[in-house]
A = this chain, B = another copy of it.
């Protein structure tokens, strides 16, 4: 990890709070200047282009990180090339495990990506000294575990159509919560994933993904402009297609 590759972003008082959950919620929220100094010393930003691999499975990983902007995905690959996405990291999501030496999955930039990295050793020390951080991290990990379990239902039991509808609903909801838009009328956004990435997410082939998206469009569950821009005229209808009960993945 050459020093020159590290991009230090201007660090005026609180301008990165929204992007960096560890700092924002565990430390910065309390505005403890000592802790801020420790953080400033041990963190750095890196950016990646869409398609770049952040870490390869099995590589030594001497940092933990959180996503500032863009989307990263965790991917597992079998020897014969079959691949399954096992995690989708959106802004504020965390990756890396204190106490672990090597990455267990490929981490890939799905879109252009900025990550906020913390060198692992000092991060571990800080975590031991700052209970807030351990609690916040536990909180985030439990959220991820819930998401993973929702995803397991999708992979194990849903039809291709339901899978696609579920994925679009997840993206729509995440997008809506980022933009703090009003109650659910029409929603519109760009799909941040290629058909191949969707297929890897859903345990399908890209052809099936394409066919099912076409089918949902024909049935006017979604509207497509170009290949990526989606409008959802009726969110409830989409949820019905997804086969989710109730709120479909929102945590209590």
A76 touching B203 by the CB < 8 A rule? no
Question: What is the CA–CA distance of A156 and B153 in the complex, to the nearest angstrom?
Answer: 11
Question: What is the CA–CA distance of A74 and B148 in the complex, to the nearest angstrom?
Answer: 13
Mark interface residues in A54-85 (1 if CB within 8 Å of B CB, else 0): 00000000000000000000101011101110
For residue A122, CB closer than 8 A to chain B, the reply is no
Question: What is the CA–CA distance of A53 and B55 in the complex, to the nearest angstrom?
Answer: 42
Q: Looking at the assembled complex, report how far the CB atom of A7 sits from the nearest CB atom of chain B, in whole angstroms.
A: 28
Question: What is the CA–CA distance of A251 and B97 in the complex, to the nearest angstrom?
Answer: 12
When A134-B135, A135-B134 are in contact, do A151 and B152 touch as well, CB less than 8 Å?
yes
For residue A137, CB closer than 8 A to chain B, the reply is yes
Interface residues contributed by chain A, number (CB under 8 Å): 44
When A145-B145, A152-B152 are in contact, do A84 and B138 touch as well, CB less than 8 Å?
no
Measured between beta carbons, the chain B residues less than 8 angstroms from A134 are: 131, 134-135, 138
Contact of A76 among B86, B97, B144, B149 (CB under 8 A): B149
When A141-B138, A141-B142, A157-B84 are in contact, do A149 and B74 touch as well, CB less than 8 Å?
yes
Q: A residues engaging B (CB < 8 A)?
A: 74, 76, 78-80, 82-84, 86-87, 97, 99-102, 104-105, 128, 131, 134-135, 137-139, 141-142, 144-146, 148-153, 155-157, 202-203, 243, 245, 251-252
